[in-house]
Structure 1
Amino acid sequence: MTTKTSAGLALVIGATGGIGGAVADRLLAGGWRLRALHRNPEAARRSSGRAGLEWVKGDAMVEADVVAAAEGVSLVMHGANPPGYRNWAGLQLPMLNASIAAAKAADARLVFPGTVYNFGPDAFPDLAESSPQNPRTRKGAIRVQMEQALARASEDGLRVLIVRAGDFFGPKPGNNWLSQGLLKPGRPISAVSYPGPLAVPHAWAYLPDVAETMVRLVEDEAGLGAFEVFHMRGQTLTGAALVQALEAVAGRKLSVSRLPWFAIRAMAAFNETMREMLEMRYLWEAPVLLDNRRLVARLGAEPHTPIEEALRIALAGLDALPHDRAALAA
């Protein structure tokens, strides 16, 4: 039987983003003191709406800034992510290396959100923590390099926690497939543009559930090893089931079409975001499922918000609920 670690001081890198913001909210709700790094802390303070969060000035690309921000913390959450799919090769590893240096200097646990991009079709459909990582994309290759850097750092004394999950969504607009691929934010939902066959299961991850999972794990620090990896099953749905849930939330029938891959292919030659989206197509063509048995054995159950509730909150955050439903939700 392990003992729950009392809440302490944590540093969140990327607190204005999706996963970083969700983890920041969960840590604050759990009584943690929280510090966040931002190049413009005053603007971040005004826009975040998070009371009790200490914003400090710094750049996630500058190791000295991150090390200074991490002084005295017991947890570093690395939630930094370049906007869109742009310049992953130039930004991701330097930012992660800065967080590694900071966590080492503070003797803190480093938490990292993993993805399915590490894996190729040879590992499908059921992905375990130890499944072979043979990515098909440049973004996936960078993800593998990042996890390898974390594994090397753990051999040098860093304590690491990686939680891998499917495609993130909600409760706010962000860099994800739901808000940037399937529907149009800022207008009542009437149509869905789906990237793959509607009969194929796909793994989604509601951000508050991912944050809850991460925080529960780190609060059981005594039960964690130096290098830990867990998979979340998340919201695993066929395209048809997702559309059905969206229709239930919207209270109307939705028109459904396939994402126009031909147009994305045409734009990919000139647009980095489109090129990276095109490379990810294979993840929609076959079942991609995460085996969460190890996580369930540790926590007893995986945190799981019912899909209609999660989508209702996500659509409200995207200003995509029909007006009558938005009023009801409010």
Structure 2
Amino acid sequence: MVRELVSRGHHVRAVNRSGRAPALPGVEVHRGDITTAEGARAACAGAEVVYHCAAPAYDRWVQEFPPMTDAVRQGAAASGAKLVFADNLYMYGPVDGPMTEALPHAARNPNGRVRAAMAEALLDAHRSGELRVALGRASDYYGPGGVNTVVGTMVFAAALAGKPVRWVGSLDQPHTLSFLPDIARGLVTLGCDARADGHAWHLPAAPAVTGREFLDLVIAELGQPGTTSALGRPMQRLIGLFNPTVRALGQTWYQRDRPFVSDTSKFIATFGPFTATPHATAVAATLDWYRARPTS
């Protein structure tokens, strides 16, 4: 997000707990805690648009995500800023076809209900006139910087280390995957266009691929033989006994045993053509980032 905004000539305040940010011109670094209303107000002070891309640990969403998002909403409202929320597709629950923004929020699992509740609260705040809000929804993501994702360490880091490359779920079901720079481009579009206000939007992504097709792209880009496999439901349950993040993935296994495809036609029809990065190009860029990433 920082790089995309800077590339468009915006002055950016990068907010995080560490106070570190990319060494780019036009970036103001703010070390802060947006889990409190006071911290969020300080972080958002003077902003015209606030991009809420923060999240607690995956297995702590139910306890920590709603108060964090409520604090950010208060901070953005206090500054008179528009709020753009980096959302996902959990609120819909199991579906029988491509997902559109018109689907009901039918999720019954805890993380899905939390996502639905936050989205509805933010849109209610927009309708009440408290502040302007736009929601940008993406699927499972990958790309430079993308480590807290099922398409991260188990795929790219493992491939570079010569380890088996694992796909979570069925290898043969189509799945929309979002490239992080494309997500950033989509969110900035929502932040800069008043037509986005008061709505949820599925952010453009390259066409859905199966897990097998995606892993084949990774192996092909490496240019050397590799082993690919699926992490199925029994193994997920077993690993989940010791790993709370993997355990939480069981809530949304329906995303992994059938097609999980996002329809982004509403975004394109409203804001115009958007050339999503082809998966082959995005995979190469992601591998390059992992190669350059310091190891510890």
TM-score, normalised to structure 2's length? 0.90
Match of 1:229 in 2: 200
Unmatched runs of 5 consecutive residues or more in structure 1: 1-22, 322-330
Match of 1:56 in 2: 30
Corresponding residue SS for 1:81: coil
Q: How far apart are 1:275 and its partner, in Å?
A: 1.3
Q: How far apart are 1:194 and its partner, in Å?
A: 1.8
How many matched pairs? 291
Match of 2:67 in 1: 94
Residue 12 of structure 2 is aligned to residue 34 of structure 1: yes
1:97-112 matches, within 5 Å, as 97-112=70-85
Residue 145 of structure 2 is aligned to residue 172 of structure 1: yes
Change (3 A) 1:303 1:63: farther
Instruction: Tell me, in whole angstroms, the C-alpha distance in 2 between the residues paired with 1:120 and 1:76.
Output: 28
Residue 59 of structure 2 is aligned to residue 81 of structure 1: no
Corresponding residue SS for 1:140: helix
Deviating above 4 A after TM superposition, structure 1's stretches of 4 or more consecutive aligned residues are none
Match of 2:248 in 1: 276
Instruction: Tell me, in whole angstroms, the C-alpha distance in 2 between the residues paired with 1:319 and 1:38.
Output: 25
Q: How far apart are 1:126 and its partner, in Å?
A: 1.0
% identity of equivalent residues = 29
Is 1:186–1:318's contact at 8 Å kept on the other side of the alignment? no
Q: How far apart are 1:320 and its partner, in Å?
A: 9.0
Match of 1:238 in 2: 210
Match of 2:110 in 1: 138
Change (3 A) 1:292 1:61: same
Match of 2:126 among 127, 149, 154: 154
Residue 181 of structure 2 is aligned to residue 201 of structure 1: no
Instruction: Tell me, in whole angstroms, the C-alpha distance in 1 between the residues paired with 2:239 and 2:229.
Output: 19
Instruction: Tell me, in whole angstroms, the C-alpha distance in 1 between the residues paired with 2:193 and 2:241.
Output: 47
Mean Cα deviation higher: 175-184 or 123-132: 175-184
Q: How far apart are 1:265 and its partner, in Å?
A: 0.9
Residue identity matched to 1:31: G
Unmatched runs of 5 consecutive residues or more in structure 2: none
Is 1:269–1:275's contact at 8 Å kept on the other side of the alignment? yes
Q: How far apart are 1:107 and its partner, in Å?
A: 1.7
Q: How far apart are 1:131 and its partner, in Å?
A: 0.4
Deviations 1:227-278 (A, max 9, x none): 1211134131112321232232112343221215433312424432121122
1:2-21 matches, within 5 Å, as none
Match of 1:65 in 2: 39
| Cα RMSD after superposing both structures | 2.2
Residue 2 of structure 2 is aligned to residue 24 of structure 1: yes
Residue identity matched to 2:75: A
Corresponding residue SS for 2:151: helix
Residue identity matched to 2:285: I
TM-score, normalised to structure 1's length? 0.81
Mean Cα deviation higher: 136-145 or 254-263: 254-263
Instruction: Tell me, in whole angstroms, the C-alpha distance in 2 between the residues paired with 1:242 and 1:25.
Output: 26
